[in-house]
């Protein structure tokens, strides 16, 4: 792959041509602002397009610098430094009263931008990233190297590139361009950033209900997390919610069980000594059906709300307008569960709670063999929840299930989680998203809920009680995986690069102000 880290992305003339092409292509090409700019090239949006292009190198450098500072909550790595850096980013973008707020865990960051507008919009950021093993990456995960990504264009590779620093830095690029152009955003902004999203946001509610934060959030017409998730045909989803999650580990040990070794012993003793590893495997088998595809925890489906007729309609529309083969290719799969038809497969994505094993750790896993009988085994799990399940209910039922099935000694250590999120399709923020995507010529389907999770329920539930969702054009992929990337210059005419994505965030701001 080409290494462009220390080289200009393109010469100035080529960049101008690229931006001009993005602006002037027909609306159907799914690139931003074509109608508005062709009709009024000297409009505020036109000025912003030029300013974003002028600041492009600085915007990329800012993202690279941020990626070089990994804040990893699970490892307590650079958390204070990450919060301070996030606070600096907010101040530089024009937020005032920015402060780092302590919690019982890792700190958060809060700031406001009072533009004297009648409407206020909330921005949710996360400054933490997932753990990584540099040996698994084709380029250094903290370098932010720009490489060719076939089918997409030039892309910045690094931990946090798409989840979530790339989209967040792109939104900040739009705000920087507005400041340089002397354009005041038509809405007030409230920024709230946390450093624990990747471990289930265990202390995020403390941030959202902080004495100085809560009154600001309650003024918001809604809040969103920046995203850049366009598919290969330029399509996006407007998600009317997201699944909840519980992150935990189950631990089986000879010490807690009172059987098997309390530490590792020679494997020849298995003929006469119990195995904590096999005990954990047997406990895990009770949590799902034999194929591993459906939760079997006692009472798990008692409060699961079936899909409504409207939700099924939205899923059918999404399935009909999506390319199943491309979806499978992007995911790296060849079959759906039970070889289901595409519509039924994505219906499961929206409707089914899940029990997933993230990782299993026990004994020796290095080169060759090591004949031991381990004294301890650990399984990392995430439980995805749908309406009307709750985190508290899920934790309670899992513990009761293990006890009832003869595994009271299996420890259950919950690290974080939150309830599912739901938003009305008639919410002002959702309507503004529909108008923003339409103005940019981007194909957008309403979808019942994101199969993934984010702590949006902290905002939608009392005492905050505001709509919460995701928004953004552009593309990236590989969240939580090696070679995570974010597209800088798109060669796909239906997908925005970083400059176009920055304009997209500005478009939402204008559409919300006008909605």
Whole-structure pTM value: 0.88
User: Could you tell me where the DSSP H helices lie in 198-260?
Assistant: 204-208, 213-218, 254-257
CA angle 182, 34, 37 (to 5 degrees): 40
Cα separation, 154 vs 308, in Å, equals 41
The set of residues, in sequence order, having a beta carbon less than 8 Å from that of 89 and lying 6+ positions away, is 62, 66, 169, 172
Could you count the other beta carbons within 10 Å of the beta carbon of residue 466? 20
Q: Are 84 and 59 in contact, with CB atoms under 8 Å apart?
A: no
Cis peptide before 301 (omega within 30 of 0): no
Cis peptide before 164 (omega within 30 of 0): yes
Q: Is 247 left (phi over 0), alpha (psi -120 to 50) or beta?
A: beta
Q: How confident is the model at residue 229, as a pLDDT?
A: 87
Cα separation, 412 vs 395, in Å, equals 9
Ramachandran angles phi, psi of 96, nearest 5°: -120, 165
Cα separation, 48 vs 486, in Å, equals 22
**Token digits of residue 129:** 């990233």
DSSP class per residue in 309-376: HHHHHHHHHHHHTS-HHHHHHHHT-S--GGG--HHHHHHHHHH--EEEEEEEEES--SSS---EE-SE
Q: Is 371 left (phi over 0), alpha (psi -120 to 50) or beta?
A: beta
SS3 for 148? strand
Q: What is the pLDDT along the chain (515 residues), one digit of tens a residue?
A: 333 323 333 333 333 343 333 332 323 333 333 344 333 455 667 788 889 999 999 999 999 999 999 999 999 999 999 999 999 999 999 999 999 999 999 999 999 999 999 999 999 999 999 999 999 999 999 999 999 999 999 999 999 999 999 999 999 999 999 999 999 999 999 999 999 999 999 999 999 999 999 999 999 999 999 999 899 999 999 999 999 999 999 999 999 999 999 999 999 999 999 999 999 999 999 999 999 999 999 999 999 999 999 999 999 999 998 899 989 998 899 999 999 999 999 999 999 999 999 999 999 999 999 999 999 999 999 999 999 999 999 999 999 999 999 999 999 999 999 999 999 999 999 999 999 999 999 999 999 999 999 999 999 999 999 999 999 999 999 999 999 999 999 999 999 999 999 999 999 999 999 99
**Token digits of residue 309:** 């007729």
């Amino acid at each position: 792959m080409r290494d462009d880290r220390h080289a200009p992305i393109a010469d100035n003339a080529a960049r101008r041509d690229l931006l001009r092409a993005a602006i002037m292509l027909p609306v159907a090409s799914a690139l931003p602002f074509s109608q508005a700019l062709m009709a009024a090239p000297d409009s505020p949006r036109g000025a912003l397009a030029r300013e974003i292009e002028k600041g492009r190198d600085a915007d990329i450098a800012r993202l690279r610098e941020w990626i070089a500072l990994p804040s990893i909550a699970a490892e307590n790595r650079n958390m204070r430094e990450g919060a301070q850096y996030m606070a600096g980013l907010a101040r530089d973008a024009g937020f005032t009263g920015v402060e780092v707020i302590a919690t019982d865990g890792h700190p958060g960051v809060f700031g406001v931008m009072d533009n004297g507008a009648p409407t206020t919009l909330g921005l949710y950021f996360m400054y933490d990233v997932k753990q990584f093993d540099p040996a698994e990456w084709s380029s250094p995960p903290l370098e932010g190297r720009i490489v060719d990504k076939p089918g997409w264009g030039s892309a910045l590779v690094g931990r946090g590139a798409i989840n979530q620093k790339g989209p967040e830095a792109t939104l900040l690029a739009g705000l920087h361009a507005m400041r340089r152009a002397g354009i005041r955003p038509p809405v007030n902004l409230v920024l709230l950033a946390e450093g624990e999203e990747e471990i289930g946001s265990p202390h995020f509610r403390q941030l959202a209900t902080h004495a100085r934060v809560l009154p600001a959030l309650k003024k918001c017409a809604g809040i969103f997390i920046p995203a850049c998730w366009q598919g290969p045909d330029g399509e996006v989803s407007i998600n009317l919610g997201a699944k909840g999650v519980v992150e935990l580990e189950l631990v089986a040990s000879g010490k807690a069980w009172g059987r098997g070794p309390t530490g590792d012993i020679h494997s020849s003793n298995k003929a006469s000594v119990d195995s904590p590893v096999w005990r954990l495997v047997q406990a895990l088998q009770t949590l799902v059906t034999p194929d591993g595809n459906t939760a079997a925890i006692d009472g798990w489906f008692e409060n699961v709300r079936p899909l409504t007729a409207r939700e099924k309609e939205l899923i059918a529309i999404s399935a009909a307008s999506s390319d199943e083969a491309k979806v499978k290719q992007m995911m790296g799969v060849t079959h759906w569960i039970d070889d289901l038809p595409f519509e039924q497969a994505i219906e499961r994505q929206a409707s089914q709670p899940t029990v997933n094993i993230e990782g299993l750790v026990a004994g020796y896993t290095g080169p060759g063999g090591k004949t031991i009988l381990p004294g301890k085994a650990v399984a990392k799990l995430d439980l995805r929840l749908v309406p009307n399940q709750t985190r508290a209910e899920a934790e309670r039922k899992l513990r009761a299930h293990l006890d009832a099935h003869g595994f009271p000694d299996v420890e259950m250590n919950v690290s974080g989680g939150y309830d599912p999120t739901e938003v009305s399709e008639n919410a002002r923020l959702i309507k503004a998203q529909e108008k923003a995507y339409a103005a940019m010529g981007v194909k957008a389907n309403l979808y019942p809920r994101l199969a993934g999770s984010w702590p949006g329920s902290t905002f939608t539930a009392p005492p905050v009680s505001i709509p919460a969702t995701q928004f953004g054009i552009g593309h990236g992929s590989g969240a939580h995986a090696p070679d995570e990337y974010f597209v800088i210059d798109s060669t796909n005419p239906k997908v925005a690069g970083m400059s176009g994505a920055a304009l997209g965030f500005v478009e939402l701001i204008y559409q919300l102000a006008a909605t």
